[in-house]
Chains A and B, each alone.
Chain A
Amino acid sequence: MDGPAADGARPPPPRAGSRLCVRCGERKAALKRPKTLEQICRECFYIVFEDEIHQTIVENSLFKAGERVAIGASGGKDSTVLAYVLSELNRHHNYGLDLFLLSVDEGITGYRDDSLETVKRNEIQYGLPLKIVSYKDLYGWTMDDIVKAIGLKNNCTFCGVFRRQALDRGAALLKADKIVTGHNADDIAETVLLNILRGDIARIENGLIWLYHDPGIYSPNAYRGFAREFIKDLERMRPRAILDIIKSGENFRISTTTRMPEQGTCERCGYISSQKLCKACVLLDGLNRGLPKLGIGRTKAGAGADSDGKQRIKRSERNTSSLQGKHGNFDF
C-alpha cells in the first residue's frame, strides 16, 4: 500500500480508441477492477483474483498439507466463490487439503431452503462433500421453534449467537482442523467500523479479528444500516478506503491497560467463553426454563438473574435438554 503505483487507485489516462487489458495487452478489457480501477479482460481478472488469494494463503501460512478444512457454505455468492477458488487452488498449487463444505440449517422454513439447494449444487459442481448441521442437532431448537416461544422481538440475538457457535461446533463434530469463511474486505471493514462505534477496538492480526470488548449485548441497532451506507458511499468516493480501514485495524496500537478478553471455557459445554457459561448456554437455559429474556439486555451473561423480573413468561412445554447431555462435551 505504500508505493504509489502498487495501489494504482488513480485511473490510467484514457487511450484513444482501443481499450485493451492493461495486464495482457492482448484481449479487450471487459471490466474496470473495483480494487484498483485497472481495465482488464475477463481471463486476467480470474487470474489476478485467484492469485491474490493464493498469495494471502501463502504469506500468512494459513494451511498445512493434510489438514481437514471446513468451508463455511451459506449458498451466497461469497461462500460459493470461496468454495470454487479454494478447490481450484488446492488442485493447482497442491495444498494437499481435505476440503468439505459445511452448511448450517437454522430451521427457518422457507429461508434456508433455497440456499441449501445452492450448496447442494456446489457439492456436485466442485466435487466437495457436503455436511449440514442444524440448530436442531446442536441446540435442540430450530429458529421456528424459538420464534414460536419468544416471538419476533429478540430472535435475532438467538440466531446470531447460535450461528456463531454452530460453524465452530459443526466443524469440531466433523473433526476439521480449520474453518474458512467467505468474509470479504467489506465485511471486515464493516466489523472494524461497527466496533469503533460500539466502544470496542477490533484489531486485525494474522488475518484474525481480535475484539477487545466488554461483555455485553449483541443486538442489532439502527446504526448498522448507517454504517453500511457510509461504507458504500466511501467506496464510491475512494475505492481503496475499504482496504485502508482494514489496514488501520491491523495497525491499531492497543493500550496495555485495555482489558484483554479472558479465554476460559463454558462450564456446561466446554465452548470458549470469557464467562462461566457461554452465551449460547445462557440463552438455551432461558429457552428451556421458559425464561426467554435470560441473557437479553444489559445484565452480564451467566449472572443467572432475570434482567426484568416482572416479565416472566409461562413455562414452555419443551423438554429440558442440556447441551451436555445430548451432544457430549466439545473438546477444543
Chain B
Amino acid sequence: MINMPAETGTLKDGTPESRTGPWRSLWQRMRTNRSVLIGGGFLLLLILVAVFGPLLTHYDPSKVDYSTKFLKPSAAHWFGTDHNGRDIFTRVIHGMRLTLSVGFISVMIGAAFGIVLGIISGYYGGKWDTIIMRITDVMLAFPGILLALAIVSALGKSLFNVIIAVSIFSVPTFARIVRGSTLAVRKLEYIDAMRTLGASDSRIIFRHILPNITSPIIVQATLRIAVAILTASGLSFLGLGAQPPTPEWGAMLNDGRSYITEHPHVALFPGLSIVIVVIAFNLLGDGLRDALDPKLKK
C-alpha cells in the first residue's frame, strides 16, 4: 500500500491502463475489501431477487382472499399472510423491485443535477459558485426528511412524487461533494497546463475533471441510495407515497399497523426487508469509500 496513486480512476491522459494501471489496483483493493464483497454480493443477490423473484412464488401480490387472512408463517406462506389474506412473502418480493427502483432512480436524478451544479460551482467559481452554494445551504437547512415531506405534501401523494421529492432532497449533497472534488482537481498543475495549451473548458471538464471525481461520486451515490430508500419508505409509511394495494414496504407497514398487536408478522417482514436492503448499500458504500479513497484508509 505504499505506491498508492493519488487519484484513482482513469489514467490522466485517458490512455488504456496497463496491467498494473489504476483500474487494476482499484479492483485489487475492492476485491480484498470485506465490506465491498459482502455488501456487493448481498446487493447482487437482492437485485436477482427483484428481477427473478416473482417467479419463485405463485401467489398474486394483490389478490384479496379473506379465507387466508392472518396466517402465521408456514411452509405454504413463508412470511405469513396479511389482513387481506395476501401472501406477505410475495408482496415483499414484488416490493423489492419498487424499493430498488425508487432508490436508484431518485439518486440518479439527484446526482445528475448535483454533479452539474457542483462542477459549475467548483470549476467556474465566482458568482455562480456563490449562488449555487447559498441555494444548497438553504436546502440543507431543512432537517432530514422534512424537505422531501414538504414537497410531496404540495405535489400530492404518489410514489412518483416521492421520487421527485427524494431526488430534489439528494441534489445539495451531491452538489457540495462534487464542488469540493472539482476544486481540488482544478487546482492541479496539469489542468493549468492544459488550459495554457488551449484546451476548451468542456474538454477539461469531460476528459479530466469528471474522470477524476468519479470515486467520491460513486461512494456518495451508494450511501445516498440507502438514505433515499429510508426516506421514500418513510414517506410511504406516512401515507404520502405508494398507496395500497401497491406492495411498497413502507406502505405495507402503514397498512399492517393496526393489526400488529395481534399479528406481529405483518409488520416484521416488510421492515426487516428495508433493513437488509439498506444494510447492503451502507456496507458497499463504506467498503467503496475505503477502497476508492486510500487517504481515508484506517
Question: Do they bind each other?
Answer: no
Chain B residues at the A interface, C-beta cutoff of 8 Å: none
Chain A residues at the B interface, C-beta cutoff of 8 Å: none
